[in-house]
Every structure is written in structure tokens, then in C-alpha cells.
A and B are shown apart, each in its own frame.
Chain A
């Protein structure tokens, strides 16, 4: 287009031609986004995305009339580290693990527990286990280490309401990134076989635990994860779920002695959590996944720790049970 032609006024025919030229630039991206919101939060996508966790996403929300006397919740360290079978064996109480990845727990907070409680009898114990940096509510979703994609999927699959719409609209970068990744995975796996049934329902066979089978952790992660815990948030967990005879235990996943953030966590978590004083456990208890994912040996250790806490509380009168002393009404 020459300079002379450019400075000439556009005729209506010319303008219509230009508008038609521009139309696909608006329409195509919008159609892409809309199709993402239609395709990605579906069972088909969960089974075909290549992400084997997606069919197991929101496991706790699907449980009905399940007698879970001990309800285990938290981030991925609880998901892989708390074995309901061990807890049941050591306490005699039935246990269910409905924990999810960090992104899901930090985006939807305790929505999953609320959904579980709507369809199941109240548990005798609710146990929260979070990695030590996850004891506060952050509105900065980009700071979450893992699970933002699953977090958005969970909200769109299980909580389609105005709150979710507002939440996603106020985090546009994460939401748009979810749509883009979801569509890309759709195209990549369009003709792939669905996730096998056994993998898609693995949590049903383990009462919710997702055991990991990777190598043991060999050396310490040098990441410094000094995020302050929020005492009010922890208290709120105890108050909100410590009703109808339910007792609440809030634990921080133990880390390793060489964790550069250990002292920070000890300084700020002691007194707030039920596994105070916050102590490290051997590095051989963790898998090479990082993020304090316990291996089989570590899961034994963590599950026993929780079982002992429960057993100790079963032998005590209710009023003195929790570190925050607001655990029961």
C-alpha cells in the first residue's frame, strides 16, 4: 500500500473489505477460547489429555455416603504421603485421602471438603497436611509451584458458578494460559488412546492416596521457600471444621534437615501446627519428585505420625486436643 493510497479517505466498499479482512483476527481467537471452555472441562479431555492425574482430579467431590472417620486433606505432600490403610490399621478408624495438588488447594481452598461433607457423614477427624510454605492464602496464582492447570479444571468441572467466573476473570493470565494449554493438549492427543481404567481410577483403589514410585531424593533442593504462615487462616481451619464432634489436626509436612528454609519454618510454624516442634525427617523418606513428596518409607512415617496424633486424641478429653485449642466445639 503506497503512502498516497494510505492517506486517501477509505471508501465504504474499501472499508467493508478491510473489516472483512480483520474479522478472522477477532473471531478465530475468540472461537479458540470458547472451544477451550467447552472441551477442556470434560471427561473426554480428562481421559485423553495425556495427564493421568486429570481423571483422578476432585476424587473427594465424587465420594457419596462414604464412612470416612478420618478425612485427610492438604496439598500434594498429603496426597502422596498419607496412606489411609496405615492410619486405619493403627487407629481402627476408616480413613479417606481427598488431598489434591498445591494449585488446586490454594485456588479452591477447602471447597473440596465442603463438597465432601454435603454428601457424606461428618468425619471424626479432619487432618490437614500442607507443605510448610502453603499455610497462607495467596492471591498470586503465578507463585504456585504446581497444579494451576488442574486447579482451573477443578473449578470449572466442580464449581461452575459466578464465584468461579469472577475468580478466573481476576486471574486472566492463568485462565488464558489454561485455555491455551488445554487446546494444545487436545490437538496433541486427539487420536490417542484414553487413560487406562486402572490408572484413571487409581485413587479408588488406595482410598485416595496417590503413591509415587520414583527414585529416592538424593540431594537437597536449594530453593528457598520462605513464605510466612497465616495464623488466622490456620485458626479458621480449626474453627470451621471443628464442629459436630469433629476434631481438627493441622500438620506441616516435615522437611529434610538440609532444607535451607528449615529454620525459617521452625521459627514461624512452631505453636501453630499440631506436629510442633517442627522436626525434619531423613532424606531417604522422600522421592526424587521434590516438593516433599514422600516415598513408600516416608508415607509410612507420615501416616504413622498422623495415626499417633489421632490415637493420642482419642485417649484425651476433647477440649485439650489441638495446638490451637479451638479444634472442637
Chain B
């Protein structure tokens, strides 16, 4: 079920909230059981058969968690952690990578037959990664083992089940404690509904409206000229941001309706001045996950080996060619190699990951060579850094969106002018495929105007958590033209946001799927 579907908005959500409210008097177990049941219904609505997969994964990890729990022999705990991780990854490999890989071999003549791809279960990467984190945290003593009901809610709670944010057990589990779970609260409901509607509007009114231009470009890259390629690529950059950050806002808002707090997942990434900052503001919970469970263990291993060899692991050591290769390049590229694979089974995702790994490596080199206070920093103005970072993301997105590497390279070559200026935007033969609700994207002037509005929103306005006053302590408010814009419980805000909800409802049926649904 999509958050932006009419069944979710008009039926599922009101029913889930009403049930939660009615069960308030029956206490914590009843509330958590209700959340599990509605979450399983939410998941099964798409394809009931995959409920078995989700339930199986959940039970397997629950059983493994017993074996990893404190009080058992250390060696046994480590063995069971290994078994748990391998079992989770095997499930992910089977559904996400096995058949695409076999078909890749077939396409290159290494196998004699092709295979039908299995349907990728919704959110399999998210619930697999969430559970691996739980097992690791349990082994490290960071998390406490939970009963089946709270554990089920932790994994299946519908606001994060399909597309994140990826949540640490330590963030969510304490919120299920007896003294913290109280049923519905009007203040959380007001905040949550507002947050949800803002996210819904981002998705339905912006992402889905600009998306068709990107769709026609990537469906027919060979027919696009310079202007079409650029406008399509920029449209996709905006679609991706408003789609996924809109989804995250909806997830955070939905959780808050049940008085549960999720971590922020987007914090104006297109306002950042470097690619390192970009990843600390884009899909933040994935970045944190990769940092905690991939990058840091690799770096720790590298540092240990260097120390064993009598080498230093200081910042100065990292500035030497050998140290840079070992301390910066290797962990970064390996992490983003894995990040690329995580995003999908296809060479284009691998290139996407490696490209970002390369960007980050260059960015780290820049920071090492020009430490804070360097006069070079004054030479390069902030707007230039912001635009450079954005363009790096746009180019990497071409690989993320294209059907394959060949198409991506063609688009990049067209954007670079290698194919000349090509036919003008109006001459692109597939503009007629753009649906009527996005027809403005079929004209150069109105498409440019629509994208300008998107740029204005991402670069000049505060983001949702800033408006809602929900910025975490470890984040600073990004610069904007309306730094004082703040949500309040007032008639104006109520009527404005409810009006926005009505407008989005009128466009729900023209809405498309979320980009991050089948990762």
C-alpha cells in the first residue's frame, strides 16, 4: 500500500488510528499488538504471499536473537551473529541479486539459459538491514533483547517498513517501554498530520509532476538533444529529492501520529557545500548505517593492520600517498561499492556507488590538503561549492536512473555536448507521452519555470523539520530566505495545510509509485 494512495489515506490510516485509540485503555501489549497487525495488513495488501517471507524473516531473527543475547558463551554469540547475518544476506541475495546476476552471465555468454526474475518483495532491503543492525547491536551490548511483540513492531511498524528510515533498535525500542507508550496524543497528532501532508504534497504535487520529463528522457535517451538531456536530468534530480524526502516526511509524520519519533532522514542535501556534507544530509539513516556497519569496521581493520605493521593512523599519516590509499580511499570505495550494490542489481548502480566513492575520496583529499582556515577556502565561494556538489549528484543520478550503463553514458555524453547540441527540446519526439497532469513539462519555457520553482524550494526555503521545529540537536538550521517561518497550532496553519491536503487528494489518482519502494 502506498502512503500516497487513496485507500491508505481514506481507509487504512483512519482505521489504524481509531483502533489504536480504542485500545489505549488496554495497555502496552494491546497497543503494540495492534501496531503489528495493522503493519502486517499494510504489507500484505500489496501481495499477501510475501507476508510469509516477512514473518519468516522476523521469526528467524527473533530466534537468533535468543542465541546472541548476553549470558551465553562469547564464541557461541559470535557464531550465531555470523549465522544470522549470513541468513539475512542470503535472503536478500536470492530475491534481489541472484537472478539478475545469472541473467547477466547469460547475456555475456557464460550461461546457456536465462532465468525469470522473481518479484522483489517490497522493502526487503530495509527490513533485512534493520534486523541485521538489531543482531549486531545485541551482540555488542548496545541493544537489549525484546519480546516478540515489541520486536515485531520494531521491524514491521508500517511507517518505516517499506522504505525506511533505517532505524537503530536503540532509537525505537525505548519508545515502546511501558512508561512511554500512551496511545494517541492530540499534540503529536497535530504535528504528525502536518508533517505527513507536507511530505504528501512534496511527492504528489512536485515529484510526480516533474517525473514524466525524466521518464521520457530515460526511455528514449538516443533521441534527446543537449537541452532535453539537461532538463530531464534536472527533473530527475528534483523528482528523486522530492519523492524520497517526501516519503521520509510522511514516514516521520505517520510515526509521530502514534507518538513515536523517527530520526530525520533528509536535511536539505542540495544546500550542502561538499559531497561529504551531501551524504550527511541525504538519506541520512542509510549513511549512518553504512558508516556504523561497513565503513567504521573496515577502517578499524585497516588501522589495526597499520598499527600492527608499526605505521601511524593519524591525519598526517592519511595525507601520505600510502596512508591515503589505505585510510581514505580503500574504506570509502569499498563502502560505496556496497552502497551501489544495495541500491540495485545492475552495473549502473555499481557505477553510481563508485562514482560517489570517487567524489568522496576527492573531497577527503581536498580537506586533507586544504585544512580549515586555508586561504583556498576563501577563493572558492559557497554558491560555487553548492552548485558543484549538486552537479556531481546530478551526474551520478544519471547512472542511478538509466536502464543500463550504455544509456547512462549516452545521456552523460549528450549533457557534456559530445553529441553536439542535437535537436532542440521541442523536437524531442516523445514529449507527447507526458501525461496531461504534467503537460507543462512538455514545453521548454514552462518546464524551465517548473524546475526553477523546485530550485527555489530546495535552495531558498527552510525544510520541513525546520518549519516544524523538529530539528535534532546535532543539526543546524540551513540558510534560507524565510528563517523565521515556523509552524504553529493556529487556524491559518490548519486551513492552509488542510487545503494543501485537498489539492493533493485531487491528484492522488495521477500519482505514481515511490522510487525507493523496491530497494
Contact = CB atoms under 8 A, between A and B. Distances in A.
Interface of A: 1-2, 6, 10, 14-15, 17-25, 27-29, 32-33, 172-173, 176-177, 180-181, 183-184, 187
Interface of A is mostly: helix
Interface in B469-519: 469, 489-491, 493-495, 497-499, 501-502, 505-510
Interface of B: 5-7, 9-11, 185-191, 193, 197, 469, 489-491, 493-495, 497-499, 501-502, 505-510
Nearest to A19: B186
A17 B187 CA distance: 10
Contacts of A184: 506-507, 509-510
Nearest to B436: A188
B197 A180 contact: no
A1 B6 contact: no
Contact of B190 (A22, A177, A181): A22
Contacts of B498: 24-25, 27-28
Contacts of B494: 20-25
A48 B14 CA distance: 34
Given A21-B489, A24-B495, A25-B197, A172 B505 contact: no
B141 to A, nearest CB: 27
Contacts of A14: 186-187
B6 A10 contact: no
Nearest to B497: A25
A18 B502 contact: no
A6 B182 CA distance: 13
B489 A18 contact: yes
Instruction: Please name the 8 residue pairs, one residue from A and one from B, whose CB atoms are nearest each other, closest first.
Output: A24-B498, A176-B6, A18-B186, A177-B509, A21-B494, A180-B509, A184-B506, A28-B498
Contacts of A1: 187, 191, 469
B310 to A, nearest CB: 49
Contacts of B495: 24
A290 to B, nearest CB: 15
B3 to A, nearest CB: 14
A181 B185 CA distance: 34
A94 to B, nearest CB: 40
B188 A29 contact: no
A283 B63 CA distance: 61
Given A24-B494, A176-B6, A176-B7, A29 B193 contact: no
B6 A21 contact: no
A19 B189 CA distance: 9
27 contacts: A6-B188, A10-B187, A14-B187, A19-B186, A20-B494, A21-B494, A24-B498, A25-B494, A25-B498, A27-B498, A28-B498, A28-B501, A28-B502, A29-B9, A29-B10, A32-B506, A172-B6, A172-B7, A172-B11, A173-B5, A173-B7, A176-B6, A180-B505, A180-B507, A180-B509, A184-B507, A184-B509
Contacts of A21: 190, 489-491, 493-494
Contact of A22 (B193, B469, B506, B507): B193
Contacts of B493: 21
Contacts of B187: 1, 6, 10, 14, 18
Contact of B186 (A10, A27, A173): A10
A31 to B, nearest CB: 9
Name the residue among B11, B190, B193 with the largest chain A CB count within 10 angstroms.
Answer: B190
A14 B136 CA distance: 43
Contacts of A19: 186
Contact of A10 (B185, B497, B505): B185
B191 A29 contact: no
Nearest to A5: B187
A33 B502 CA distance: 10
